[in-house]
Amino acid sequence: MLKILVPTDFSVNSKAGIRFAMQWTTQQELELVFLHVFHVERLVQLRNEDFEEYTEKKRIQFVEKLNHFVISLYKKAKIKTGKYSCAAQQGISADIGIMDYCRNHKDIDYICISTRGASKLDKFFGTNTGNLITKSNVPVIAVPKHYKRSPVTELVYATDFSNYLEELKTVVAFARPIQAKIKVLHLAWENEIVPDQKTIEGSVQGQYHGSIELKIKKAGESFSLEKDLKNEISRSRPSMVVLFTDQNRGLFKKIFSPSKAEQLSFNTPIPLLAIHK
């Protein structure tokens, strides 16, 4: 059984990730772990044991609050509560707290978190969701704040074909239990040498027996993968988009060649599954 970490700050925007996780449980047996990251300022006059005692008291309070919050959302969604637990984690920031939790709990399979867009400054320094996409070893599902609960029936896996057969194994492992179709999408730049479509279709269909569609499309004149992908999403209306992101990028590459998955997460129109290469 997969274990899904679902962070929340109790805000309206954070409910989108919870709604997606709850919907997912109607398609597949899962264990959900709802997490709230909080920060307690250290007062100089407090002894270590007093600070730890106070922090533990706050943690227990947040767990109780989180449990009430989650139960109310289950009732509103009219979904039967399955296997779930609530946790609270002390952390400097939400993204750091979430990654710390995952390091201490190796059985987390996915992080499912809401994303609410980002200002220009946020895009440079990073948002919680963006930072998770570029730094977390655990795959991240970024859910737009306006997401309305609906079954996941089709995934668009966008690829540059550099390692598509290995990546496709991961995509198939996610899609098969929920019986979702997969569309493999490649946006080809002008003058790009693209592998023969029939050869690729043969290798894919040979392994997965006709359950996967392949689409190679010429990129638009905007020279922006993000814009072209959003246009394709608007046309085909899939349930989710899947991207693999390279986390081994220095500051120069981050500024001048930002992660496509991270950029798309700022304004994704549908849930985005980002998996590190």
**Exposed/middle/buried for residue 230 (C-beta within 10 Å: 0-12, 13-18, 19+):** middle
Tokens 């509103």 — which residue? 76
Class of domain 154-276: alpha beta
Write 167-170 long-range contacts (CB < 8 A, 24+): 167/244, 167/275, 167/277, 168/204, 168/207, 168/208, 168/212, 170/275
What pLDDT does residue 3 have?
98
Amino acid at 81: T
Report the alpha-carbon distance of residue 164 to residue 156 in Å, rounded: 13
Domain ranges of the chain: 2-144, 154-276
Tell me what pLDDT residue 43 has.
67
For residue 68, with 0-12 CB atoms within 10 Å meaning exposed, 13-18 middle and 19 or more buried, which class applies? exposed
Quickly count: other Cβ atoms within 10 Å of residue 185's Cβ: 22
Q: What stretches in the chain show pLDDT beneath 50? A: 118-126, 250-257
pLDDT at residue 218, rounded to an integer:
74
Predicted pLDDT of residue 228: 79
Contact in structure between 33 and 3 (CB atoms under 8 Å): yes
Domain 2-144 shares a fold with domain 154-276: yes
> CA geometry: angle at 213 spanning 29 and 167, to 5°?
60
218, amino acid identity: K
User: Is-contact 115 271, C-beta < 8 A?
Assistant: no
Contact 222, 208 (CB under 8 A): no
Give the Cα separation of 103 and 118 in Å (integer).
27
Q: Are strands 181-188 and 110-115 parallel, antiparallel or unpaired?
A: unpaired
Which tokens go with 147?
Answer: 């997401």
Which CATH superfamily hosts domain 2-144?
A: HUPs (3.40.50.620)
